[in-house]
Amino acid sequence: MGLTAGIIGLPNVGKSTLFNAITKAHVLSANYPFATIEPNVGFVEIKDERLIKIAEIVKPRNVVFASVSFTDIAGLVKGASKGEGLGNQFLSHIREVDAICQVVRCFDNPDIVHVTGKIDPIDDIETVNLELTFADLEVIEKRLPKIEKKAQLKVDADSELEYKTLKKAKNALEKGIQLRNCLFSPEEKVLLKGYNFLTLKPMIYVLNVEENEVSNDNEHVKKVKAYAEESQTKTVVISAKIEEEICELEDDDRLMFLEELGIAESGLDKLVRETYDLLGLATYFTAGEKEAKAWTFRKGMKAPECAGIIHTDFEKGFIRAEIIAYDDFVKCGSLQKAREAGKMRSEGKEYLFKDGDIALFRFNV
């Protein structure tokens, strides 16, 4: 199960610098608008410390970490929903991602131009959010006339539900409320999902600061955090330049560098973790002599569904899953010892997988 996050924001806020750090791809990072036109896509491994520990115990021939796909999308400008800048091309790229990481400039640097000529992160956020809102409204306004008559005549229940739901969404957007912050019934959520609305996608504000401000919130960061709290939007503070430097270091040097900066983990690690949490994702593991691997699943998935992530045959022929919790596995020191200690459980089709489960699937096709 892949996770795709889109990195968006106004031009020159640090999107491509962050993308460089994420993927070590060294894409063009330039001091002028629209340096990124076609979206750059890269994958980053999630260095889960639990999988590293599992591998130390099992000593497999191969270790496979989970990965996140990040898409660096061209800078948005005011009027994008009406075709300004890269317009609809930009917006179509956002529709393809699972979550949105909106990079917000929270630093003052006269050498790096700002597209509006002033540093105002709240205004930047509202510019981006307004363009996403306009784009969603356009989709709704095109659709409503096509189903209005059927809904009013009550020709079928589906048309009534669609019309009612889209009107509800339209009213919210016109009040400046993003769809992710609205209350919808399960049936309404299913219907809206098919439209791939931009304001329905989970969002994180990535607050880009100078290297010397990463451990202490500056005034820009404080304002954005207060603003984000009102809409219950997550925030992550990073220095894109620091992340770009860190990605070039070996693990030991990286840890030393972070300690010198007075931060416990890199901004990138925190961003990935927060994005996982935002999307309701978790990780289970498989461990054997050939391979130890991390698998991404959605919280609330049952054992057969999780088995199907590995291969559809595992789900079709599912018999049971043998499960051991990560902490129990580490304490016991091996799968065999865990089994002998009674820490390995046999779970059936109704078992809800938990983050950190180590699984062995039994199936028959």
147-201 confidence digits (pLDDT tens): 988 888 887 888 899 999 999 999 999 999 999 999 999 999 999 998 989 999 9
**Per-residue confidence (pLDDT) for residue 35, from 0 to 100:** 39
Among 335, 324, 327, smallest CA distance to 357 is for 324
β-bridge partners, 208: 105, 238
Q: Rounded to an integer, what distance in angstroms lies between the CA atom of residue 147 and that of residue 163?
A: 7
Among 328, 356, 332, 360, smallest CA distance to 347 is for 360
**Per-residue confidence (pLDDT) for residue 119, from 0 to 100:** 87
- Report in angstroms the alpha-carbon separations of 344 from 22, 115, 330: 37, 58, 13
The mean pLDDT of 312-321, rounded to a whole number, is 95
Residue 56 pLDDT greater than 80, yes or no: yes
Within 10 Å of residue 43's Cβ, how many Cβ atoms?
13
Q: Rounded to an integer, what distance in angstroms lies between the CA atom of residue 121 and that of residue 113?
A: 14
Band (86; pLDDT cuts 50, 70, 90)? very low
DSSP per residue, 225-280: HHHHHHTT-EEEEE-HHHHHHHTTS-HHHHHHHHHHHT-SS-HHHHHHHHHHHHTT
Q: Any idea which of 28-37, 43-52, 135-144, 245-254 has the lowest mean pLDDT?
A: 28-37
**Per-residue confidence (pLDDT) for residue 332, from 0 to 100:** 93
Band (248; pLDDT cuts 50, 70, 90)? confident
The mean pLDDT of 8-12, rounded to a whole number, is 85
The mean pLDDT of 25-31, rounded to a whole number, is 41
The string of pLDDT tens digits covering residues 97-113 is 889 999 999 998 877 76
Q: Rounded to an integer, what distance in angstroms lies between the CA atom of residue 364 and that of residue 109?
A: 62
